[in-house]
């Protein structure tokens, strides 16, 4: 589904990613961990199509297509989804309007007609119920005045409505209370399937108790330092990152 080869990225003239290699197959869940500032969000944003991040070399193939050649909006329509670490507030743009516009953009590119207004509303209401979100969020501006946890739930709500093939959730678990963590995990798990894949960027082993990953990777110094199964996350929980970062430098 996704194949990243030797990806180098610089931001504002500073080299952040130094040769990331990663393959994610349909049906898999991967976790990416790593110290603050190691480039996890940079990787996620580059994959989503941020234009002010410069890819200096490397390639990314998504579903057989050259992802890096596609503009951000086309990546989304092709089934790529980024759950932002810091979802932006957009006062004045209605939350439900955004959802509808996003869904219709995707349907249009798939040659489908626009979603029926009534069907759409009942779909949204069902998903919101699933996410334990009150319907008052429908009429508010995108993320406007949402608490940290509400913003993350809203990201997952969007994901559930858009049903992406590949979702990268950048610290969607940070700032969630225990109940919300469960709800969000259920949301992610509900989308698991043989045709889809998920990449979880997280600092906490706990999320992986709810969403069992197939592989765990550690990002450090702009590349994947180590990959393993779920037990790697447990080891990191005990030992921290120093031993990996040091051995990478050595």
Partner 1 sequence: MSAVMTPAMRSFESQWQGRRADALSPWRESAMQRFLALGVPTVHDDSWRYTNMRVLQAQSFRDAGANDSALSAPGDASWLTDQGRIPSILIVNGHPRLSAVAAQIDGFEIRSLRELVATEPSRLSRYLEATSDADQRRWELLNTALFADGLHIEIKRPIDTPLCLVHLTGGAGEGNAAYPRVIISAAPGSRATIIEHHLNVGTEATLCNSFTQAELGAGAQLEHYRVFTGHEDATQFDSLDVVQDRDSSCRQFTIALGGSVLRTTLQSRLGEAGAALDSYSLLVGHGERHVDSVVIATHGAPATRSRQTARSVASGSSRTIFNSKVIVSAGASKSDSQQSCRGILLSPTAEIDSRPQLEIHTDEVKCAHGATTGRLDPEMYFYLLSRGLDRDTAQSLLIFAFVADVLTRISLPAARAAIETALIAQLPNAELLRAFR
Ligand X SMILES: Nc1ncnc2c1ncn2[C@@H]1O[C@H](COP(=O)(O)OP(=O)(O)OP(=O)(O)O)[C@@H](O)[C@H]1O
> Which residues are at the interface with partner 1 (CB under 8 A)?
48-52, 71-73, 75-77, 82, 84, 87-88, 90-93, 97-98, 101-102, 105-106, 109, 141-142, 158, 162
Contact (CB, 8 A) for 42 and 226: no
Q: Does 11 bind ligand X (CB under 6 A)?
A: yes
CB of residue 162 vs partner 1: minimum separation in angstroms? 8
Among 4, 24, 29, 38, binds ligand X (CB under 6 A): 38
The footprint of Mg ion on this chain (CB under 5 A) covers a number of residues equal to: 3
CB of residue 138 vs ligand X: minimum separation in angstroms? 30
Give the tokens for residue 99: 């959802």
Name the one residue in this structure whose structure tokens are 């603050």. Answer: 36
Contact (CB, 8 A) for 165 and 80: yes
Q: Does 16 bind ligand X (CB under 6 A)?
A: yes
- Nearer CB in complex with ligand X: 16/161: 16
Smallest CA-to-CA distance from 202 within 192, 194, 211 is with 211
Q: DSSP class of residue 239?
A: H
Among 39, 49, 220, 221, binds ligand X (CB under 6 A): 39
Stretch that binds ligand X, among 39-47, 71-79, 188-196, 236-244 (CB under 6 A): 39-47
What residues numbered 52-91 form the site for Mg ion, per CB under 5 A? 85
The 52-91 site mask, x for binding ligand X (CB under 6 A), equals ---------------------------------x------
CB of residue 54 vs partner 1: minimum separation in angstroms? 15
Among 4, 9, 31, 41, binds Mg ion (CB under 5 A): 41
Q: Does 202 bind Mg ion (CB under 5 A)?
A: no
Q: Give the total residue count for the chain.
A: 250
CB of residue 211 vs ligand X: minimum separation in angstroms? 18
Question: What is the Cα–Cα distance from 144 to 224, expressed in whole angstroms?
Answer: 36
Give the tokens for residue 147: 């608490």
- All residues at 6 or more sequence positions from 68 whose CB lies less than 8 Å from its CB, including other chains: 55, 59, 60
Contact (CB, 8 A) for 32 and 201: yes
* Interior angle at CA 202, CA 249 and CA 45, nearest 5: 85
- Nearer CB in complex with Mg ion: 78/244: 244
Question: What is the Cα–Cα distance from 154 to 12, expressed in whole angstroms?
Answer: 30
Q: DSSP class of residue 192?
A: -
- List of residues contacting ligand X (CB under 6 A): 11-12, 14, 16, 34, 36-42, 85
């Amino acid at each position: 589904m996704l194949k990243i080869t030797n990806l180098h990225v610089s931001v504002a003239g500073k080299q952040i990613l130094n040769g990331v290699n990663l393959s994610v197959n349909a049906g898999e869940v991967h976790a990416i961990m790593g110290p603050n500032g190691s480039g996890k969000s940079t990787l996620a944003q580059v994959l989503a199509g941020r234009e002010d991040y410069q890819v200096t070399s490397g390639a990314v193939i998504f579903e057989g297509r050259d992802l890096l050649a596609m503009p951000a909006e086309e990546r989304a329509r092709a089934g790529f989804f980024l759950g932002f670490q810091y979802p932006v507030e957009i006062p004045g743009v209605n939350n439900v309007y955004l959802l509808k516009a996003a869904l219709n953009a995707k349907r249009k590119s798939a040659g489908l007609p626009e979603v029926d207004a009534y069907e759409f509303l009942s779909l949204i209401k069902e998903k919101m119920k699933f996410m334990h979100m009150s319907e008052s969020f429908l009429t508010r501006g995108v993320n406007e005045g949402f608490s940290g946890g509400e913003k993350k739930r809203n990201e997952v709500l969007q994901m559930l409505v858009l049903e992406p093939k590949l979702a990268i959730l950048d610290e969607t678990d940070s700032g969630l209370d225990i109940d919300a963590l469960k709800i969000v995990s259920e949301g992610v798990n509900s989308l698991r399937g043989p045709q889809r894949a998920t990449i979880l960027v997280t600092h906490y082993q706990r999320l992986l108790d709810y969403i069992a990953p197939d592989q765990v990777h550690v990002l450090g110094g702009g590349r994947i330092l180590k990959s393993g199964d779920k037990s790697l996350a447990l080891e990191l929980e005990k030992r921290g990152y120093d031993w990996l970062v040091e051995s990478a430098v050595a």
